[in-house]
Amino acid sequence: MGIALDGVGWHPAAWSHAPGPDPAALFTGDHWTGWGRAAAAGGVDFVTLEDGLGLWTDSFGTAPDDTGRRVRGRLDPVVVATLLLATTGIPEVVVTRNVTHSPPFQVAAQLASLAAVGPGRVVWRPQVSADARDAAVVGGAPTPALEPEDVYVPTRIARRLRDLFRDAEDHVRTVRRLWETFPAAALGGEDGAFWQPGRIRPVPSAGEHRYPAAGPLTVPVATPPPVAVLAHHALEPYRLAAAVADRVFLTPTTENPLPALVAAFRQVEALTPDFAHTQVYADVAVVLGDSEDHAQDRLGRLDAAAGEPWSTDTGVFTGNAKRLAAELAAWREDHGLSGVRLRPAVLSDDAVRVVRDLTPLMR
């Protein structure tokens, strides 16, 4: 069970309902290590960190507004992950890294460095970006444009972004080949040597069409990080996850319940050449309360502050921890779910309830 850390929470009105940190505090190490330590102490298995090149906006295709209602910026997730791995006991940190605008060699070196700080505790989530603002920030090539009506229809997104998902698959495969070029066994030797140059080599193949990396990597790799893919209900994200991921985060909704998503993903996986069995996780936003009525009341007040109902890319569970625990247990027993990532609407309310109320019930 994991908690998705992002700003002060995932609801657009989280900032107006979060008690007190100064805005600048969100961009200090203390904010992140505090939540990392709280999650570890409460028995949470992993936290996830988001990537974002441009500032967040509530309105698709426009510049960020200045209403002051939402946290707009993000720290680099590699930097935050370094802090969490070095100063907290959280078992795993899932690091999101943009692959559309980041070269494989850079990503491979960053993740290898994190794996050296926290061996066996790093997971990589490659992220596909079709936001024109991201391309503008890094001077990258323009990406296929999404129309406003596409944003909440995963099949339309996948169709327009087919080439980006194929490129992402090549990117992940190239990173994994780069990790093979400098094994940790190349350091040291029986004769007291500092390293063994013969074990360091170029990439074992010529590379994919889009990313012909030569290597070798400049950072030794002791434990290659697993790969986790967030896959909305559409063919292209499912293909990417089946082809390269060790874990997949599925996004169940009322229209697309988890059993249907698991069945659809396993069908795509079975048709994917050379696939390895992928662990299935659910990805769910949560608004928790002392009771069902209390949770509904909290969501109503958050939506009122935001000016509209919360619409996100996955389902929103609204209720108490006892019912959530029962639902997660049923998913595990009936559908083989390996884990769950919870997106707290407001960290100071919902993440606290996950640690305080949910984890004891799950144990």
Closest to 153 in 3D by CA, of 308, 313, 269: 313
**Strand residues in the chain grouped as ranges (E):** 2-5, 46-49, 92-98, 122-127, 228-231, 247-250, 279-288, 316-319, 339-344
Report yes or no: 4 and 346 within 8 Å, Cβ to Cβ: no
Q: How far is CA 354 from the centre of its chain?
A: 18
**Cis link prior to 144 (omega < 30° from 0)?**
no
- Helix (H), strand (E) at residue 70: none
How many Cα atoms sit within 13 Å of 125 on the Cβ side?
A: 25
The pLDDT value given to residue 271: 94
DSSP letter for 23, please.
Answer: G
Rounded to 5 degrees, φ, ψ at 194 are -70, -35
* Each residue's pLDDT tens digit, 134-159: 767 777 666 666 666 665 676 676 67
In 3D space, the residue among 321, 295, 52 whose CA is nearest the CA of residue 342 turns out to be 321
Residues 6+ apart with CB under 8 A from 144: 130, 160, 161, 163, 164
Note the helical H segments in 154-291. 154-160, 162-179, 235-244, 258-270
Quick check: 50 and 71 in contact, CB under 8 A? no
Give the list of residues 6+ apart from residue 91 with CB closer than 8 angstroms, or none: 40, 45, 46, 121
- The pLDDT tens digits of the residues spanning 283-297 come to 999 999 999 999 999
Please enumerate in sequence order all residues whose Cβ is within 8 A of that of 31, keeping only pairs 6 or more positions apart, or say none: 21, 25
Give the chain's radius of gyration (CA, Å): 21
User: Does residue 31 contact residue 79 with C-beta atoms inside 8 Å?
Assistant: no
Burial string for 10-30 (b: 16+ CB within 10 Å, else e) reads: bbbbbbbbbeebeeeebeebe
pLDDT at 56 over 90: no
As a whole number, mean pLDDT of residues 43-70 equals 73
Alpha-carbon gap, residue 27 to 332, rounded angstroms = 36
CB 122 within 8 Å of CB 86:
no
pLDDT band of 119, cuts 50, 70, 90: very high
CA distance 187 to 195: 4
Does residue 92 contact residue 121 with C-beta atoms inside 8 Å? yes
* Model pLDDT, residue 215: 77
Judge whether residue 62 has pLDDT over 70: no
Indicate if the pLDDT at residue 178 is higher than 80: yes
Task: Of 97-106, 176-185, 251-260, give the range with the top mean pLDDT.
Answer: 251-260
Region at 95 (left for phi over 0; alpha for psi -120 to 50; beta for the rest): beta
Please report which helix (H) or strand (E) contains residue 9, including its range: none
What's the rounded Cα separation, in Å, for the pair 222 and 120?
Answer: 9
Least confident of 80-84, 98-102, 288-292, 339-343: 98-102
Can you give the pLDDT at residue 195?
76
pLDDT at 326 over 80: yes
Q: In whole angstroms, what is the distance from residue 210 CA to residue 19 CA?
A: 47
Spatial CA neighbour of 111 closest among 225, 222, 230? 225
